[in-house]
Chains A and B, each alone.
Chain A
Amino acid sequence: MSEESTPLADEEEDRRLMALVADGDDDALRLLVHRHHGRLVGYLRSEVGSQATAEELAMEVFIRLHRAAGRWRPDAKLSTYLIHIARNLVLNEWRRRSRKPTSALESAPEPGDSAPESGRRVLELEEAFARAVAQLPDEQRTAILLLVQQEMPYEEIAAAMGCPVSSVKTWIHRARSRLKELMSDFYGPET
């Protein structure tokens, strides 16, 4: 989830920082949070539709990561592990609320009169996509978010969601089909 440098260097740095966190180094923890929180909050915000809830959940993810730091083994990428914890928290959050998010992001930009016509169209389209994604079943939404938004490979998505790769592929196929249905007003027929 790091923003810069090569993936291998990122993973090595994550391992080094996690070892320090396990020894109680709060500065290492601060650095680790700084490296990963952006994409974690972004993913959670797309899942729960609220910036405040996304930040709360992201903080809980890091608290749980800190608790497990001593037992953590770098079998998978740290970012995959973070998404795995985050997804469990999202599921708990939905169970707690006894409902699933059915609306788009609360802070999604509204098409305004001040925006140029083309800009308004783009914003309208993006908001429609956000609403459509929010209507997807849990697994399909998570899978499509991790693939398209977080650009994770199928294997990592499967690891994060705790399921076979074949299930991920099925969910993504269904998600695309459902999104095309929901967005049919915006697109012409396929040729």
Chain B
Amino acid sequence: MERRPAEHFDRDLSAALVRGRSVSVPGFADRTVSAVRADRLRRTVIRWGSGLSAAAACLVAVLVLGDPSEESLIVEARSVVAAEESAQFQELLSLADDLALLKPVIERPALVDDLAGGGS
């Protein structure tokens, strides 16, 4: 290719770039408005979804806070166990009493009594 004068460089650069300066696209404005409407709807749905999620989270929080916490549940369980252990202990004590009632009665032989009485 025949070399061009260096002085033409800026003019050629400008001519080459300006050619693509504006690219009009038929129907672009209508498509863009449709895309904007879709985006608007999507953001509305997200906003509502986010609001509903927040409300659900609040509801769950209220329900959870209304119920015994884990710590209180542990305390409650321990007290139940303790009560159960106490009951078992009491039961054992009662059994011991029962056993005491069932201890064999040792009667002193009559001979011993006679000897003791004869001595008197």
Interface residues of A, Cβ cutoff 8 Å to B: 3, 26, 29-31, 33-34, 37-39, 41-42, 45-46, 51, 54-55, 58-59, 62-63, 66-67, 105, 121, 124-126, 129-130, 133, 144-145, 148-151, 176, 179-180, 183, 185-191
| Candidates B8, B10, B13, B36; contact of A66 at CB < 8 Å | B36
User: 16 new A-B pairs (CB below 8 Å) besides A3-B22, A149-B17?
Assistant: A26-B36, A30-B32, A33-B28, A39-B22, A41-B23, A42-B23, A51-B23, A55-B28, A59-B28, A59-B31, A66-B40, A126-B19, A129-B13, A130-B20, A148-B17, A180-B9
Q: Are A42 and B37 in contact (CB under 8 A)?
A: no
Q: Which residues of B contact A (CB under 8 A)?
A: 1-10, 12-25, 28-33, 35-37, 39-40, 43
Known: A38-B22, A148-B14, A148-B18. A186 touches B29 (CB 8 A): no
Do the beta carbons of A145 and B23 come within 8 Å of each other? no
In the complex, which residue of chain A has the Cβ closest to the Cβ of B14? A148
Q: In the complex, what residues of B have CB within 8 A of residue A124's CB?
A: 1
Contact status A26-B33, CB under 8 Å = yes
Q: Report A-chain residues with C-beta under 8 Å of the C-beta of B1.
A: 121, 124, 185-186
The answer, among B3, B8, B12, B21, for a CB contact under 8 Å with A129, is: B12
Question: Is the CB–CB distance between A126 and B16 below 8 Å?
Answer: yes
3 closest A-B pairs by beta carbon, nearest first, are: A129-B16, A38-B22, A149-B17
Measured CB to CB, the nearest residue on chain B to A129 is B16
The contact of A187 among B8, B22, B43, by CB within 8 Å, is B8
Q: List 6 A-B contacts (CB under 8 A).
A: A37-B29, A38-B25, A59-B28, A59-B35, A176-B10, A188-B6
CB of A145 within 8 A of CB of B36, answer no
Residues of A within 8 A of B40 (CB): 66
What are the residues of chain B within 8 A of A66 when measuring CB–CB? 36, 39-40
